[in-house]
Chains A and B, each alone.
Chain A
Amino acid sequence: MTPAVQLLPLTSSLEEIPRVADAVEAFCGPLEPGPRDLHALQLALEEAVTNVISHGYGGRPGHAFTLELRREGRRVTAVLTDDAPAYDPLARAEVDIHAPLAERGIGGLGVHLVKKLMDSAAYERRDGRNVLTLARALAPPAP
């Protein structure tokens, strides 16, 4: 049985994205998640991890941060903790998803997806660190 808490050390490289996706899948495995739930968690975590690497650490390699995964019943919580300068990704202005092609940019879309895909998303600056907590309750397993 996989433990209900897992700490994943990460570095500031986009190479971590598939690693995080694999870790999320393995961690959720005992809950037998449906494809929509697994997809939502993997996508939200790619967006959040990318934000830390690209915005928090300015795309510079060599920085370490952590992802903690927790299971409580069917609720999966992910906590990203980094020591980059204070930055609240959730405070970004909402994107206009109805703008026409010529005016569409991509800034803020990742955070928009995180908010849409997670049941809850919270940011706090704690002890000189950015702490982003995301959670989603998985649907009951298929009979």
Chain B
Amino acid sequence: MEITASTQNDITVLALQGRLDGLASPQLEQRLDALVAAGTRKVVLDCAALNYVSSAGLRVFLGGAKKLKSAGGRAAFAALTPPVHEVFELSGFLEVLAVHPSAAAAAASLA
């Protein structure tokens, strides 16, 4: 999995590419932990090029959203591909995480 970070004002966008499986998920967890530790409070997870997520990846998504929330911040998820959308739906994550059609819409929701 590739993670590409960019910033817009106080919002960090992490563009995820490839497969967020049990082997790759610690890499994202460390990245999110580092952002929160450095003071970032608004994070967009752009999933437009993410074509796979397992429960290990969901655990990192959920943990990241909770850590940001308890620090007074927020996470917004964007542009889910069909397989990732299916996993969110089956897991009930569409109800607990903020999911937006595009990275721009996700960023706007955090502004």
- Chain A residues with CB under 8 Å of chain B are 14-15, 17-18, 21, 35-36, 39, 42-43, 46-47, 50, 97-102, 104, 106, 109-110, 112-113, 116-117
With A18-B19, A50-B22 known as contacts, the answer to whether A104 contacts B62 (CB < 8 A) is yes
- Chain B residues with CB under 8 Å of chain A are 19, 21-23, 52, 54-56, 58-59, 62, 65-66, 69, 82-83, 86-87, 90-92, 95-97
Secondary structure type dominating chain A contacts: helix
How far does the Cβ of A69 sit from chain B's closest Cβ, in whole Å?
18
| Sample of 18 more A-B contacts, CB < 8 Å, known A21-B19, A36-B86, A106-B55 | A17-B54, A18-B19, A35-B83, A36-B83, A46-B22, A46-B56, A47-B54, A50-B22, A97-B91, A97-B95, A99-B92, A100-B96, A101-B69, A101-B97, A104-B62, A112-B91, A116-B90, A117-B90
Is A98 within 8 A of B54, CB to CB? no
